[in-house]
Amino acid sequence: MASIVGYGFYIPRLRIKIEEIARVWGEDAEQIKDSLGVEEKSVPDIDEDTATMAVEAARNAINFAGIDPKKIGAVFVGSESHPYAVKPTASIVAEAVGAVPYSTAVDMEFACKAGTTAIQACMAMVDSGMIEYGLAIGSDVAQSKPGDALDYTSGAGACAYIIGKEGIADIKATASYTTDTPDFWRKQGASFPSHGGRFTGEPAYFKHIIGATQLIFQKTNLQPKDFDFAVFHQPNAKFPTRVAKMLGFSEEQIKESLVVKKIGNTYSASSMLGLASVLEIAQPNQRILVTSFGSGAGSDSFVIETNERIKTKQRGLLKKMLEEKEYVDYAIYLKNKRVLKSE
């Protein structure tokens, strides 16, 4: 059975407060914070991008797992902000961490669920015996047009998982739910994504999260009461809180996963960071539900159970990374996003 052998993450140190963004656009910060449930978001520094963050997260995951990177047979990087249109991020990561040359590497793209799809690919290769370990990463420098609603939530971060056997948490089941729902897109050559406003909610996020979660309930004969924790994709704090209630989960079951309040929506890393936040405090023999969401649209759902090996690992780094921060103003934020730079 495929298992999480190690995990790692990277969140940029720089942050911007919702009040600063609202000040520039002459909007009510308190109303926005109340509406989104987000207080601030992570901002990449001038030398940080999807690839550099993926490398840092991968290194942390390998250190956690305590494995030889040469044993990693597959590297998958999920993102919608790869630095190159033609040149894989995955090969950069594989070279940087030492998982070369005898490995397969590929970039994945399915909006915010590309990272969890990478986990599924690693699971299949591990379970089939093709590889001993797989590295699945979700990493994004989330793009948003200045002044757009996404400007308040689009963050930056990365999360990586080493998938193998006999790890700290076993992946008991997975299920996916996919339809052609055009709620969010970015055409070739466009600098910023477009979205369908409120259409991104009911027919997109909620329909697919609920569909995938109900499917995995059917496959496993489990119910919300059977889980210690639940993790849902976090475009903001309101959506996962609402969908949890719709599915029958309590606020207590999801509160540990809601990292979005402090770093915003990290897109492909979002649900993966939510899971990492839970694994940082989880005890042996606890059951976790994870359901991601990617616009376009689809969701991947997982049932994960921790075991006794989790007690042997040092944890707590994520909380420290969340607390170590430096605030920037809107001008620096735009500069770091390269909005003010010519190509």
Which string of DSSP letters, residue by residue, matches 294-319?
Answer: BTEEEEEEEEEEE-GGGGGS---HHH
Catalytic residue chosen out of the listed positions 40, 48, 82, 112: 112
Nearest to 229 by CA among 291, 176, 168, 311: 291
| Tens digit of each residue's pLDDT (9 = 90 or more) over 196-231 | 776 777 889 999 999 999 999 999 999 999 999 999
Choice among 40, 48, 56, 80 that is catalytic: 80
Mean pLDDT over the full length of the chain: 94
Q: How confident is the model at residue 339 (pLDDT cuts 50, 70, 90)?
A: low
Annotated active-site residue 112? The verdict is yes
Tens digits of per-residue pLDDT, 50-103? 999 999 999 999 999 999 999 999 999 999 999 998 999 999 999 999 999 999
pLDDT tens by residue, 244-287: 999 999 999 999 999 999 999 999 999 999 999 999 999 999 99
Beta strands in 166-295 (DSSP E): 169-181, 184-185, 194-195, 229-232, 287-291
CATH number for 3-168+313-336: choose from 1.10.3470.10, 3.40.47.10, 3.40.50.2300, 1.10.287.180.
3.40.47.10
Q: Which helix (H) or strand (E) holds 271?
A: helix 270-279
Largest CA distance in the chain: 57
For the chain, percent of residues with pLDDT exceeding 70: 97
State the pLDDT confidence band at 186, using cuts at 50, 70 and 90: confident
If one counts every other C-beta atom within 10 angstroms of the C-beta of residue 66, the result is: 11
* CATH 3.40.47.10 for domain 169-311: yes
Q: How big is the chain, counted in residues?
A: 343
Beta-strand ranges (E) seen in 63-202 are: 72-78, 104-108, 133-141, 156-164, 169-181, 184-185, 194-195
pTM exceeds cut of 0.85:
yes
pLDDT at 40: 98
Reported as a single tens digit per residue, the pLDDT across 275-310 is 999 999 999 999 999 999 999 999 999 999 999 999
Task: Tell which residue, 256, 246, 329, 316, has the closest CA to residue 286.
Answer: 256
User: How many angstroms separate the CA atoms of 120 and 118, rounded?
Assistant: 5
Whole-angstrom distance, CA of residue 322 vs CA of residue 263: 8
pLDDT for position 211: 98
343 has pLDDT over 70: no
Which part of the chain has CATH 3.40.47.10?
3-168+313-336, 169-311
Selecting among 56, 122, 233, 256, the annotated active-site residue is 233
